[in-house]
Structure 1
Amino acid sequence: MERENQTGTGNFILLGFTGDPDLQSLLLGLLLSGYLVTVTGNLLIILAVISDSHLHTPMYFFLSNLSLADIGFTSTTIPKALRNIQTHNKGITFAGCISQVYFFVLFGCQENLLLTVMAYDRFVAICHPLHYVVIMSPWLCLLMALGSWLVSVLGSLLDTLTILRLSFCTKIEIPHSFCDLPAVLKLACSDTLINNIVVFSMIIVLGVFPLSGILFSYSQIFSSILRISSDRGKYKVFSTCGSHLLVVSLFYGSSLGVYLSSVATLSSRMTLMASVMYTMVTPMLNPFIYSLRNRDIKVALGRVLSKMVPLSERVDARLS
């Protein structure tokens, strides 16, 4: 089989969602609408947290970081997919593919770590409420947020640099709408042992360990809930972490489905649909989950929107 070192000018082919031209316009509209909703919703969450002093707490600080990671997560893949559909060109350069892998892993790891930090925050708030202010100090929250970003950058860099040593066959077709790391590695003609070791290690360090931390935190939270005598108290405590638990379930359920399906050698179509769930649907639903189940967020969003409406009216008046 012909081989080509893709560190040069070679291209990958993103097969995307469907080759049916009749569905391209519908798919373009769905992706564009979902992307705009995702970016707008998460930006509103960030603006609400920044503008409302009542939300200057560890929980909402980490939530704003999660919203930022969600925007980056979807912006890594969806704009390129939209462009490919619009131009009917499925190609992506090697540099573009490597960039997608880097930022996709970066924001994916960041979301992983932030969900873990948020679970720890809920654990301290519910299991150690008297020491919450002391434990979750502003400096600790800042260090945890910066640490999660730094670890994500280093982990993504390690995953990406190991790809540069590989050579790929010509006419490379990726059965995704973006350059997913496992799919890229499967197309390499050279030995990928080192890459697989790095990926496996990163999954353990940045996937299994954070998930174990989340499960441990919630096991302690549920134990504390069971010790509460009143039903009203149980509901109040559970409602404070219900949104986060739902987001964790969506993210891990869909992402694990992708990698388990790839191990089980199921169809690429099923893997693609699972990828859409955790790369687009979950980031799009996160703002709705947190805003609909949280009174403080709804109040803050109402204030942000009320300020934006008069501003838009003043702009229109000046233009007219």
Structure 2
Amino acid sequence: MNPIIGLIGLGAMGGGMARSLRRAGYALRVFDVRADVAQAFAQDGGTACATLAELGAQCDIVISVVVNAAQTESVLFGSGEVAGCAAAMKPGSVFVMCSTVDPNWSAALEQRLAGLGLLYIDAPISGGAAKAASGDMTMMTSGKPEAYDRCEAVLNAMAAKVYKLGDRAGAGSKVKIINQLLAGVHIAAAAEAMALGLREGVDAAALYEVITHSAGNSWMFENRMAHVLAADYTPLSAVDIFVKDLGLVLDLARASKFPLPLSSTAHQMFMQASTAGFAKEDDSAVIKIFPGIELPQAPKAAE
């Protein structure tokens, strides 16, 4: 019999992952702090749970798609008078953690859940909202073989690539941290290049066309500078995500006194953008820290 799946967090990534699971035919329970979002999702299939404990009690596999370690702790173990899902989960159930977190924290969580009789997969994700919705995202996973035995098919239903990176938690999070190093540095470099072009009076659309067909291109330039050209800073991934993620990158390297000069500079750029008031805007808004440039404006609506 197919397992009953619970998914917590119906944001840009989690909502797409839930739809992928629904398409694959899994019995699905969902929870989001925005109850109306969970109810709206369930209208097309699945069940919205009123509490985390209710979801945990009903599911064989619980997938958490929240922002960070603190939110994951709250999901599992509760906050204040609100109970988490861990105490309600049946022994032998699997908790799949999809956030970008400190790898050492993830390894410790595996041990903590083992003490409750629960299995754990360290499974941060990448690819963006569109790939999550189509089931084409990437998962960087690590965990015990018995955990994979119970949920491998479920992981494959959500992602085109499920990388198994070790038999204990932490390895998946280390690889995700390194991915975020590159992603953050690439966005910062893309913004710097576009800003210089604007400062020098180069037509922004022409610059974008040339770079995206030249050796200097990157996926992040092509994706994020399109947001700048459209003057659309709707947060698919916010500035503060990279304040957090590049902070994790630097914390990991600091523990072994490993120098990361480019990561450090990119982190400062995102922090500058955050404190300038762009924290919740799309991460491409890091370009707004550059002085003396005129950014593309959104086209005016026809009267």
How high is the TM-score relative to the length of structure 2?
0.31
Rg larger in structure? 1
Larger RCO: 1 or 2 (CA < 8 Å, sep 6+): 1
Structure number with the higher helix fraction is 1
How high is the TM-score relative to the length of structure 1?
0.30
